Amino acid sequence: MSASEFLENLDVITSLDVALVRRIAHLDMDAFYASVELLRYPQLKGLPVVIGGSRRREDSYWERLVKLDPLKDWKSAPLSEYPLEVFPRLKDYVGRGVITTATYAARHFGIGSAMGLMKAAALCPEAILLPVDFEEYRKYSRLFKSIITEIAPVMEDRGVDEVYIDFTQTPGGQRQGGLVLARLIQKSIFQATQLTCSIGVAPNKLLAKMASEFNKPNGIAILYEHEIAAKIWPLPCRKINGIGPKTDEKLKNLGISLIGQLALFDPSELIAHFGQNYGRWLIEAANGRDKSGVVTHSEPVSLSRETTFERDLHVTTDKERLTPIFTKLCEQVSNDLQRKGYLGRTVGIKLKYDNFKTVTRDQTIEFPTNDSKEIRKFAGELLKRVDLSKKIRLLGVRMGSLIKLEDWSVAQLSNTSDSEVGLNRELF
């Protein structure tokens, strides 16, 4: 029976004349990038594998493969036949790249996302290092999200590997607190992709995200409001999405380590230390209160591209290398704008120096654009407003104040007189 047939035949509680209980799910794909790579290289299952560094190249292993077996046609061989000896090890990596994700076998060594590859090499030198392949990850991301929306259409896209889903009025979403629907979604994704996910279902988004971590990987956790004290309060404050390391350190200085301690802390003292808005939010979050809705569509605030260099570069000595990189970033931003159908009116640049200090500069232009040459021109002008005497480790270009291309076209047409329209017809 298909998912749609199952739901059609389900005796759904939403059809009854009762008040619906708000049920929100957070779905997180398990070690997503690494799991996609294991579909390509099943021989690496169970091994510590790290994804990071440069982008994937199809011919990256051929030279080593030929040395292993010169007579075999490796270009026609399936990737699953690549021997383990051909894959690079973390111990051989030299550079400043960071980990995108790692398999659970690698995480047992203390390796995690955003960790430097050199630091990870010290923890697990024999871990296999695979380059990223964003095109492949985006393909699987679109696939698993399309499966979700066929079953539960109210979905908020939160990135390549996670979503929020409103179960409240979805058939099956009230059964066993959402367990029935969560199982169906989890099973459907696995059948279509062979990828696993973890799902947390709770009264709101904040609690659902926390619950999705309870039974990883390939788990489901159902959390009810009356269980907050028992299941949420014993957790460290950092488990709340929105509490970072700096806030956590300040809370510890106040004697607050656990969410339960935060929930019962004097609100006036929190406000005194963190300000009116953030202080009140800390209390609300610790008590499991969150009124934010599942947003099915939102316009991007900005589009940007940036790159971190393998070694620090200087404008004077490395100009021949920096110039094409800068131009390419502008072209990538332009392509992103055109592909998504946007124009931008604020051009921005971002530089991170060798001392890790970051600077940004922005400029609002008269007319919005998505043209790469225009973006390059204005971004180049912004470079004159920053200190270029220091070495650079990161360079980025951004376009903000976005407007839909069709909205701008309509606005321009409405501001054009009849005589101008007639003139335009003659010109074209």
Q: What does the pLDDT read at residue 74? A: 79
Mean pLDDT of the 205-223 span: 96
Q: What does the pLDDT read at residue 347? A: 96
Q: What does the pLDDT read at residue 67? A: 82
Residue 424 confidence (pLDDT) above 90:
no
Q: What does the pLDDT read at residue 70? A: 84
**Non-local CB neighbours of 54 within 8 Å, separated by 6+ positions:** 97, 131, 132
Half-sphere exposure of residue 200: CA atoms within 13 angstroms, side-chain side = 24
Options 156, 162, 213, 420, the catalytic residue:
162
Taking the C-alpha atoms of residue 408 and residue 341, their distance in angstroms, rounded to an integer, is 11
pTM higher than 0.75: no
159 — pLDDT class (breaks 50, 70, 90): confident
Residue 100 confidence (pLDDT) above 80:
yes
Mean pLDDT of the 153-179 span: 93
**Non-local CB neighbours of 7 within 8 Å, separated by 6+ positions:** 151, 171, 172, 184
**Non-local CB neighbours of 321 within 8 Å, separated by 6+ positions:** 313
Class of domain 32-132: alpha beta
Mean pLDDT of the 102-120 span: 90
Domain boundaries, given as residue ranges, for the chain:
8-29+137-226, 32-132, 230-286, 302-411
Max mean pLDDT range (76-80, 191-195, 243-247):
191-195
Strand order in the sheet with 24-29: 155-157, 162-166, 24-29, 197-202, 220-222
What is 302-411's CATH superfamily? DNA polymerase, Y-family, little finger domain (3.30.1490.100)
Spacing of C-alpha 381 from chain mean position:
31
423 — pLDDT class (breaks 50, 70, 90): very low
296 — pLDDT class (breaks 50, 70, 90): confident
Residue 134 confidence (pLDDT) above 90:
no
Max mean pLDDT range (18-22, 187-191, 305-309, 384-388):
187-191
Mean pLDDT of the 253-277 span: 95
Residue 96 confidence (pLDDT) above 80:
no
Residue 5 confidence (pLDDT) above 80:
no
Q: What does the pLDDT read at residue 97? A: 81
Q: What does the pLDDT read at residue 3? A: 53
254 — pLDDT class (breaks 50, 70, 90): very high
Residue 6 confidence (pLDDT) above 60:
no
Mean pLDDT of the 292-316 span: 86
**Rg value, the chain, Cα:** 26
Taking the C-alpha atoms of residue 239 and residue 259, their distance in angstroms, rounded to an integer, is 8
Residue 20 confidence (pLDDT) above 90:
no
Q: What does the pLDDT read at residue 286? A: 97
71 — pLDDT class (breaks 50, 70, 90): confident
Architecture of domain 8-29+137-226: 2-Layer Sandwich (3.30)
pLDDT digit string, tens, across residues 377-405: 999 999 999 999 999 999 999 999 998 88
Strand partners, 348: 362, 398
Q: Are 337 and 374 in contact (CB under 8 A)?
A: no
Max mean pLDDT range (190-194, 299-303, 352-356):
190-194
Lowest mean pLDDT among 86-95, 224-233, 259-268: 86-95
Residue 284 known to be catalytic = no
Residue 1 confidence (pLDDT) above 60:
no
- Percentage of the chain beyond pLDDT 70 is 88
Check if CATH label 3.40.50.300 holds for domain 230-286. no
What is residue 52's three-state secondary structure? strand
H/E run at residue 120: helix 117-123
Whole-number average pLDDT of the chain:
87
CA-based nearest residue to 243, from 278, 214, 194, 293: 278
46 — pLDDT class (breaks 50, 70, 90): very high
